[in-house]
Structure 1
């Protein structure tokens, strides 16, 4: 297999740095790697596999002559919208972690455990979903395959690293009685039922991301979905409480068996011994942890469970790299 030329756009941010670390762990067949960031970060040094690399300013002239095959994008949405269309001119396949193109009709939204084949299309931009969506749909997909889904209720408890460095710093400041500079209220010792901007109907953009992205990934607009998202004073890993109503009846023991045998999932459920998924369990791990599985007796075919995953890892950087690995494998 030929070696690839790879770039990271937004390499100095939280997710960009996590991409670098995971690439080092997974030992992909990379010939050249390039790190791009804002003009302010240009000239900084990044070590990759013990080699020194200089960060370059992200601009067209700096990507034009490098024959980049693939790029992992960790830019914020406005910058991704501005810059990524330029990459088509240079035949760069971009796997984008931002929200910029997720709901664009002709751009696939990919989770490798569910719909990797969607990445094999003729366009050059592939979207990776929202962090809380990824860990939720990975857990829901085996239920969807086996029993169908009528309705989903999401309630999230999301770590501050989902807001990047600013969220982390606000939590650190708050723990030492400093004032918040990023969140609208103190996050330390608090829970904010507010992630992203509020819409006119009272939902937040984060909540509607989960609703709309789930439908797109499953390719099923018939599922009724609602969501409430909250920020909690935890550094890493999101916890999502999921209530799901299936189309077909099920035995609860079969649900346990399905989770036990599903790739990318760790069944972590032994409540008699206080074993259940928590952010501290999932931190630094690649898998989605599933537990607290129980029947919802308020509807005919209802299940309650929780999913927990490292949000900057599986919820962001790793998902993009798994898509990249799939594309490379299909080119053999």
Structure 2
């Protein structure tokens, strides 16, 4: 690539103004295009912390608040879909998706108008906010309104705004905080109004697995992100360190399961998630084409759901006094 091309790519990577990069719309958008842009393979990462948090709440109170649990699930899933559409919009107007090797996005590929993608994203954020408001009204925990607002702001500025933190190598940190700690502990708190140590262990494990998925995604796009000026953690530390970190995060999640299994024997079943995350580790170390890493991130997402289900089962049958 010439120096002129590199400079152009870098400038597009820094720009968040749609006017900087006109996007021509191609063929009419299909329902399948919108479903693909929702990135359903990432939804297990939204579901897993709610499952773990609900199990921990049941352990603490010996009660199952199923309405609140479903509301928490709605918040998590709607927010995740909103984030995915927001990333589609922001990366598309910046020109970052011009260099991607994964599935084509709505905005970057010209399949939908940027404004339409933005409206859809904001709609899902609004629906998540309404579900969150219902939880606040039901539990009378009004301070959670601030937490919800921070979640939406963090979701937007991952790739949005003039200085998106996802472009500065901070994506994994925020994913750990929001997909791990906030989602899991928040789910437990609104159902139990307490945070048992099991919820903390589960939250950390969920955060590790979510970070592993992001690492696989960014490893796939490492060369393209470098060209687009997107300085993800993977771009900063390089391929080999990313592979090591990916493996360590999954291993740490499994060690947490082993520790919990000493007190809750069914938690041993969480190791069954290695049936999915194990092959993902092999792919991350042995892949020949970046596109193969799409399978790896899907497998880790699946493993997070298996892991969460095992912990939920482990916590479910234990009385609060145990």
TM-score between both structures, scaled by the size of structure 1: 0.27
* Greater per-residue helix proportion: 2
Relative to its length, the structure with more strand (as a share) is 1
- Structure number with greater CO (CA < 8 Å, separation at least 6) is 2
Q: Output the TM-score relative to the length of structure 2.
A: 0.27
